[in-house]
Chain A
Amino acid sequence: MTELFMLIAAKYNYCLYVILMMIGLYAMIAKNNLMKKLVGMNIFQTAIILFYVSIGFKHNATIPIIMGDHGHGGHGAAINAADYMNPLPHVLMLTAIVVSVATLGVAMALCVKVYQRYQTLEEDELRMRLSEKIKL
């Protein structure tokens, strides 16, 4: 049992991102309001961003800026990779954040469109309105 706790404590970042992701997924599936679904979608994407950011972390490491004598990196001095955090996942997430912002923007614009047309964002009402339209 203690082993299990140790495992979870050592890898708590994975547990956290999975929990966050499931919260987001639950909101996307179970919520009735389109805006709440959007918030769920954003939580879902943010969970993955946190996952990526956390995998760049190293113990006892600093930010990945190499302090050379004249800003050209250490002259011949060996640079130990373990002293610096891995910047690549963070850089990748800059792109992913842009993608998620763009997705959220497009989705919100679509919500506005839907609202202008039907004056509601509740999914069950929308479904009712649409099936009425088919009957007419």
Chain B
Amino acid sequence: MIHYPAIVVIAPLVGALIAGILSFVEERYAYPAALIATGISCAAAVRDLIYVAGHGPIAYHMGGWAPPMGIEYRIDTLNAMVLVLITAIAFLNLAASWPNIKQEMPDRSPSFYAMYLLFVVGLTGVASTGDLFNLYVLIEITSLSSYTMIALGDRDRGPISALNYVFVGVIGASFYLLGVGYIYIKTGTLNMAEFATMIPTLQDSTTILTAFILCIVGVFIKMALFPLHVWLPNAYSYAPVGFARIVAPLMTKVMVYVMVRLMITVFGLDYIFIKLHIADTLVWLGTIAILAGGVMALAQTNLKKMLAYIIVCEIGYMVGGAWLGNDLGLTGAVLHILNDGLMTFALFLAVGNMVYKLDRVQIKDLKGLFAKMPWTMTGFVLAAFSIVGVPPTCGFFSKWYLILGAFKAGAWHFAAALIISSLICAVLFFKVFEVCFFESPDTHDGHGSDTHGRHTTVAIQEAPAISLAVLGIAGISLIVVGMYSKTIVVRLIWPLLSS
């Protein structure tokens, strides 16, 4: 029996406990404890991935109780990949955000680390569990810890946006819980694999249909699919930097993973695409989400808000792609979970560095930033290219699969939306680059700056070295994942879809 699947989740849980205790005893050890806990978790997740890629899925029985009685953690290539993404980002972000956390909440940082680790527990648990009710509990652990951390952010807006998120998040999770209840009424099981064996005989049951609709709507609320997205932009842009950097790339992507898991493993592709005729509607919803997210992003004057609306747009990519109903679309959607996680992480790392130096990130405040923060801006440009979908970066490849899938399914509106959103993203980022590159930074004296600005050389004021190093790792990983995306698709995604 190998215990790595449990270690991935338990290491941050124990770490959270230790960090919580240390906040009363000896505050300065809380940070190393958190770093070690996420590091162990990350190493175990990598070990899982290597094992799963070679030997096939792991079914881990929590506490030694076999499935109908106990809770099963089932790791296959899909969630092994998602787990590595989660734990790696959690570890790297903790390393990168130390200066930001010190700056933003000098007095409350140990409790922040405890909540941060609980958030990681929730995410890794959601990604590894094979039990429907356990999934609900872990979603709520994730959400509860994120409510508290969002409230630690902006003093004026933080608590209010967190409260709005609580209301919407509770509705989403409750819908999911209700769906699980209907599944239990009909089948008497909560184990995903056992339920999947029963679904062929229950195709005509209205109870299962109700359960499916409730679960999927709950997950849509949690992932902020377009008409249900209203909580996201405020919650993410008023959160403290150290938390925004992990919640923005991971939270929505993990909920997309839950949707894919419900589609592939729980309800099964046969039931979803052959029995139910909702795929076209959902591809339309994805299309609308892409366009609406893009247009709303264009209207923003704050960089963080703009990125938050880009997340709404990217959710449309993944939902639409997954519901295209062919292997290419689903491959693209799954690959985009990984790629979008990395791209958003790199973007928010760069934005966090800007916040560290500038405090405010209204787009008009970013004048002359290429001269002031050259390395941060290099990372930002790389991540922006990936979002737009410029070839060597990874964003291109998942978008390519999505477009191929759209062509194969004949969903021209979705293909068009993908291309239009690339253009919108290009406009968005070049608008930012223009301000950062061409406008001179020193205009607060208000007169004579034109000739003045041209001759002064701006002193480089970069973010701390550790933040830059992590941004460098994230930027390089964008290109490396792009170059190896063929391997990822063949080794990790296709075995899953073919089974």
**Chain A partners chain B:** yes
Contact B170 A41 (CB under 8 A): yes
Q: C-beta contact mask, A90-108 vs B, less than 8 Å → 1, else 0?
A: 0010011001001100110
Given contacts A41-B167, A110-B147, contact A52 B181 (CB under 8 A): yes
Q: Which residues of chain A come closer than 8 Å to B170, judged between CB atoms?
A: 41, 44-45, 103
Contact B167 A110 (CB under 8 A): no
Q: How far is the CB of B89 from chain A (nearest CB, A)?
A: 24
- Report if B211 contacts A (CB, 8 A): no
Q: Which of A66-125 contact B (CB under 8 A)?
A: 88-89, 92, 95-96, 99, 102-103, 106-107, 109-111, 113-114, 117
Contact A96 B177 (CB under 8 A): yes
Contact B163 A110 (CB under 8 A): yes
Q: Which residues of chain A come closer than 8 Å to B181, judged between CB atoms?
A: 48, 51-52, 55, 89
Give B150's nearest chain A residue, CB to CB. Answer: A110
Contact B163 A34 (CB under 8 A): yes
Q: How far is the CB of A82 from chain B (nearest CB, A)?
A: 14
Q: Give the interface size class of chain B.
A: 20 to 34
- Report if A130 contacts B (CB, 8 A): yes
Give B133's nearest chain A residue, CB to CB. Answer: A92
Contact A130 B160 (CB under 8 A): yes
Contact B144 A48 (CB under 8 A): no
Contact B171 A48 (CB under 8 A): no
Q: Which residues of chain B come closer than 8 Å to A51, judged between CB atoms?
A: 178, 181
Q: How far is the CB of B214 from chain A (nearest CB, A)?
A: 11
Contact A28 B166 (CB under 8 A): no
Q: Which residues of chain B come closer than 8 Å to A111, judged between CB atoms?
A: 163
Q: Which of A36-66 contact B (CB under 8 A)?
A: 37, 41, 44-45, 48, 51-52, 55
Contact B156 A103 (CB under 8 A): no
- Report if B174 contacts A (CB, 8 A): yes
Q: How far is the CB of B24 from chain A (nearest CB, A)?
A: 19
- Report if A126 contacts B (CB, 8 A): yes
- Report if A135 contacts B (CB, 8 A): no
Assembled-state Cα–Cα distance A28/B156 (Å): 22
Assembled-state Cα–Cα distance A55/B184 (Å): 9
Q: Which of B142-156 contact A (CB under 8 A)?
A: 144, 147-148, 151, 155-156
Contact B137 A133 (CB under 8 A): no
Contact B159 A110 (CB under 8 A): yes
Give B163's nearest chain A residue, CB to CB. Answer: A110
Given contacts A103-B166, A110-B159, contact A44 B147 (CB under 8 A): no
Assembled-state Cα–Cα distance A111/B167 (Å): 12
Assembled-state Cα–Cα distance A107/B163 (Å): 6
Contact A103 B160 (CB under 8 A): no
Assembled-state Cα–Cα distance A93/B185 (Å): 14
- Interface centre among B155, B156, B174, B184, by most chain A C-beta atoms within 10 angstroms, is B174
Partner of A48, one of B155, B156, B177, B184: B177
Partner of A130, one of B151, B155, B156, B174: B156
- Report if A25 contacts B (CB, 8 A): yes
Assembled-state Cα–Cα distance A95/B166 (Å): 18
Q: C-beta contact mask, B169-186 vs A, less than 8 Å → 1, else 0?
A: 011001001100100110
Please name 5 pairs of A and B residues whose Cβ atoms are closer than 8 Å in the assembled complex, sorted by A.
A55-B181, A96-B177, A103-B144, A106-B147, A130-B157
Which B positions have Cβ atoms within 8 angstroms of A?
133, 136-137, 140, 144, 147-148, 151, 155-157, 159-160, 162-163, 166-167, 170-171, 174, 177-178, 181, 184-185
Which A positions have Cβ atoms within 8 angstroms of B?
25, 28, 34, 37, 41, 44-45, 48, 51-52, 55, 88-89, 92, 95-96, 99, 102-103, 106-107, 109-111, 113-114, 117, 126, 130, 133
